[in-house]
Chains A and B, each alone.
Chain A
Amino acid sequence: MKKKIITFTALALMLSNQSEARDQIKIVGSSTVYPFATVVAERFGKTSGFKTPVIESTGSGGGLKLFCKGLGTQHPDITNASRRIKMKEVKNCEKNGVKDITEIKIGYDGIAIANAKSGPTFDLTLRDLYLALAKEIPADAEGDEVKANPFKMWNEINPKLPAKPIVVIGPPPTSGTRDAFNELAIEKGCKTFPGRNALKKKDKQLYKSQCRAIREDGLYVEAGENDNLIIEKLVANPDALGVFGYSFLDQNKDKVKASKVDNVFPEFEAISSGEYPVSRSLFFYVKNAHASVIPGVKQYVREFTSSKSIGNEGYLISKGLIPLPKSERAKFEKDGKTLAKFDENLLKK
Chain B
Amino acid sequence: MTNNLDRVELSLVGRKRSERLFKFYGFLGILIAFLFLITILYSVISQGQKAFFTTFIKVNIFFDSEIIDPQNQRNDEDIRYANFNKIITESLKKKFPENLNKNDSKELSSFISSSEADYLSEFVVKNKDYIGKYKNMWLLASSNIDVIVKNPEMEDLDEEDRLISDKQLGWLNQIRLNKELKKELNKNFFTKADSTEPEQAGIWGSLVGSFLTLLITLILSFPVAVAAGVFLEELAPKNKFTEFLEVNINNLAAVPSIIFGLLGLAIFLNIMHLPRSAPIVGGMVLALMTLPTIIIATRSSLKSVPPSIREAAIGLGATRFQSVVDHVLPLAIPGIMTGTIIGMSRALGESAPLLMIGMVAFIVDVPTTFLDSSTALPVQIYLWKSTAARGFVELTAAGVIVLLVFLILMNGLAVFIRQKFEKKW
Known: A42-B195, A73-B275. A5 touches B223 (CB 8 A): yes
Mostly, the B contact residues are loop
A230 vs B372: C-alpha distance when bound (angstroms): 44
Cross-chain contact B277 with A54 (CB below 8 angstroms): yes
Contacts of B363 in A (CB 8 A): 52, 54
A223 vs B161: C-alpha distance when bound (angstroms): 7
Say yes or no: is A24 at the interface (Cβ < 8 Å to chain B).
Answer: yes
Cross-chain contact B276 with A26 (CB below 8 angstroms): yes
Q: Separation in Å of the B161 CB from the closest CB of chain A?
A: 5
Interface stretch (choices B45-53, B66-74, B266-274):
B266-274
Interface stretch (choices A33-41, A81-89, A286-294, A331-339):
A33-41
Cross-chain contact A175 with B388 (CB below 8 angstroms): yes
Cross-chain contact B161 with A224 (CB below 8 angstroms): yes
Cross-chain contact A35 with B360 (CB below 8 angstroms): no
Say yes or no: is B196 at the interface (Cβ < 8 Å to chain A).
Answer: yes
Write the chain A residue with the least CB distance to B222: A5
Cross-chain contact B388 with A9 (CB below 8 angstroms): no
Known: A17-B274, A54-B277. A9 touches B160 (CB 8 A): no
Known: A17-B273, A19-B273, A74-B273. A41 touches B364 (CB 8 A): yes
Contacts of B272 in A (CB 8 A): 17
Say yes or no: is B220 at the interface (Cβ < 8 Å to chain A).
Answer: yes
Contacts of A73 in B (CB 8 A): 275
Identify which of B219, B269, B358 contacts A8 (C-beta below 8 A).
B219
Cross-chain contact A224 with B373 (CB below 8 angstroms): no
Contacts of B361 in A (CB 8 A): 54-57
A122 vs B196: C-alpha distance when bound (angstroms): 38
Say yes or no: is A6 at the interface (Cβ < 8 Å to chain B).
Answer: yes
A204 vs B394: C-alpha distance when bound (angstroms): 36
Cross-chain contact A22 with B275 (CB below 8 angstroms): yes
Contacts of B276 in A (CB 8 A): 26, 74, 76
Cross-chain contact B370 with A16 (CB below 8 angstroms): yes
Say yes or no: is B25 at the interface (Cβ < 8 Å to chain A).
Answer: no
Query: Residue-by-residue, is B184-227 near A (CB-CB < 8 Å gives 1, otherwise 0)?
Result: 00000000000110000000000000000000000110010000
Cross-chain contact B370 with A12 (CB below 8 angstroms): yes
A233 vs B158: C-alpha distance when bound (angstroms): 12
Cross-chain contact B219 with A52 (CB below 8 angstroms): no
Identify which of A16, A35, A45, A229 contacts B160 (C-beta below 8 A).
A229
Q: Separation in Å of the B68 CB from the closest CB of chain A?
A: 17
Say yes or no: is A46 at the interface (Cβ < 8 Å to chain B).
Answer: yes
Say yes or no: is A262 at the interface (Cβ < 8 Å to chain B).
Answer: no
Cross-chain contact B280 with A16 (CB below 8 angstroms): yes
A35 vs B196: C-alpha distance when bound (angstroms): 8
Contacts of A5 in B (CB 8 A): 219, 223
A277 vs B168: C-alpha distance when bound (angstroms): 37
Say yes or no: is B243 at the interface (Cβ < 8 Å to chain A).
Answer: no
Say yes or no: is B371 at the interface (Cβ < 8 Å to chain A).
Answer: yes
A292 vs B18: C-alpha distance when bound (angstroms): 79
A2 vs B280: C-alpha distance when bound (angstroms): 19
Say yes or no: is B104 at the interface (Cβ < 8 Å to chain A).
Answer: no
Cross-chain contact A16 with B371 (CB below 8 angstroms): yes
Identify which of B118, B278, B373, B388 contacts A16 (C-beta below 8 A).
B278
Contacts of B388 in A (CB 8 A): 35, 174-176, 225
A13 vs B277: C-alpha distance when bound (angstroms): 15
Cross-chain contact A6 with B275 (CB below 8 angstroms): no
Cross-chain contact B364 with A45 (CB below 8 angstroms): yes
Pairs A–B under 8 Å by Cβ, sample size 28:
A6-B223, A9-B219, A9-B220, A13-B280, A15-B371, A16-B275, A16-B278, A22-B275, A24-B365, A24-B372, A34-B362, A38-B196, A38-B362, A39-B196, A46-B118, A51-B365, A52-B364, A54-B361, A56-B358, A57-B362, A72-B273, A73-B275, A74-B269, A74-B276, A176-B388, A223-B160, A226-B160, A233-B160
The 6 closest A-B CB pairs, nearest first, are A52-B364, A229-B160, A55-B362, A56-B361, A54-B373, A38-B362
